[in-house]
Chains A and B, each alone.
Chain A
Amino acid sequence: MTVFYSAMKYAVQVNAGPCSGNAGLSAYRFILAALEAGHDVVRVFFYKDGVYHAFRYASPPEDEIQLGRLWSELALDRGVDLAVCISAAQRRGLLCADEARRQGKQDDDLAAGFRIAGLGQWLEAALLADRCLVFA
């Protein structure tokens, strides 16, 4: 028997940080389930305190979930686009190597698999998607 279903394209936004709620973990699990079910995730846009997911040097205790590492793996192994809002990131002290150099600093705070983007990229993802989800 052939099973017919139509794959959906999801745009995901994460607005809460990893230390202040479960929104990030819920988003991660949703994305994983969507991919397993054959759907597409156009982009994950990290906004507001959600940018805290993208800090390279976040080091939770060993016996806690390593959500940052899981996000990186999602990008590197599954090709999910992880975009971090530049203005929200700079406000919170998260500088990618380019921006740090521009400001005369030596940081490179962005974890592997994430990239810096503007709000236009959030909107573009919404326009490309069938559904838009915000985890706040």
Chain B
Amino acid sequence: MKSFLFVMRRPPHSGVRLSETLDALLTAAAFDQRVAVLWLDDGVLQLLARQQPESLALKDTSAIFKALELYEVTELCVERESLQERGLTPEDLILPVRLVGRSEINALIAGFFAVVPD
């Protein structure tokens, strides 16, 4: 088993970019690899509650995030400063996440075999 950290830094709903990232993520999870997700920068917006992507004719990626537990993807980390800078709190998100401080991000990333950007 190898470990994959998906680092989400971009907002959702800009074309199919995030959908394609999630396809790769679910592939790694389906093959029983250790998969974790780290949301940084505008990527934290992917987890905002009450998204309405249907109006943009896009898939609801937040529904897929909510299903991650079924794939045993449970290491879900959000950078604390990225939330704060956008005026958000964990209560604004669709999932319970682990808050990680900016100073701890390097050590977190270093613990994984592969780092995959969104």
Interface residues of A (CB under 8 A from B): 13, 15, 47-48, 87-88, 91, 119-120, 122-123, 126-127, 132, 134, 136
- Judge whether B27 is part of the interface by a CB distance below 8 angstroms: yes
Q: How far is the CA of A13 from the CA of B114 in the complex (A)?
A: 11
Residues on B lying within 8 angstroms of A by beta carbon are 2, 4, 16-17, 20, 23-24, 27-28, 31, 33, 113-117
Residues of A contacting B115 with CB < 8 Å?
134
CA separation between A127 and B114, bound complex, in Å? Answer: 10
Which chain A residues border B2 with CB–CB below 8 Å? 126-127
Are A119 and B27 in touch, CB under 8 angstroms? yes
Question: What is the minimal beta-carbon distance from A41 to any residue of chain B, in angstroms?
Answer: 15
In contact, A136 and B117 (Cβ under 8 angstroms): yes
Does A132 contact B114, Cβ atoms closer than 8 Å?
Answer: yes
Within the assembled complex, what's the spacing in Å between the Cα atoms of A91 and B16? 10
Q: List 15 A-B contacts (CB under 8 A).
A: A15-B117, A47-B20, A47-B24, A87-B23, A119-B23, A119-B24, A120-B31, A122-B24, A122-B27, A126-B2, A126-B28, A127-B2, A127-B33, A134-B114, A134-B115
Chain A: minimal CB distance from B31 (Å): 5
- Nearest-neighbour CB distance to chain B for A60, whole angstroms, equals 24
Count A-B contacts at CB 8 Å: 35
CB distance from A15 to the nearest CB of B (A): 8
A59 to B27, CA, bound (A): 34
A48 / chain B contacts, CB cutoff of 8 Å: 17, 20
The smallest C-beta distance from A46 to any residue of chain B, in angstroms, reads: 12
A120 interface neighbour in B4, B27, B113, B116, Cβ under 8 Å:
B27
Given the interface contacts A91-B16, A132-B114, does A123 sit within 8 Å of B27 by beta carbon? yes
B117 shortest CB reach to chain A, Å = 5
Q: Which residues of B contact A134 (CB under 8 A)?
A: 114-117
Chain B: minimal CB distance from A93 (Å) = 14
Contacts of B16 in A (CB 8 A): 91
Taking a contact as CB atoms closer than 8 A, the residue among A47, A119, A132 that contacts B113 in the complex is: A132
Which residues on B sit within 8 Å (CB–CB) of A91? Answer: 16
Q: Nearest CB to that of B25 among chain A residues?
A: A119
CA distance A21 to B101 in the complex (A): 31
Bound complex: CA A101 to CA B115 (Å): 37
Identify the interface centre among A15, A123, A134: most chain B CB within 10 Å of its CB.
A123
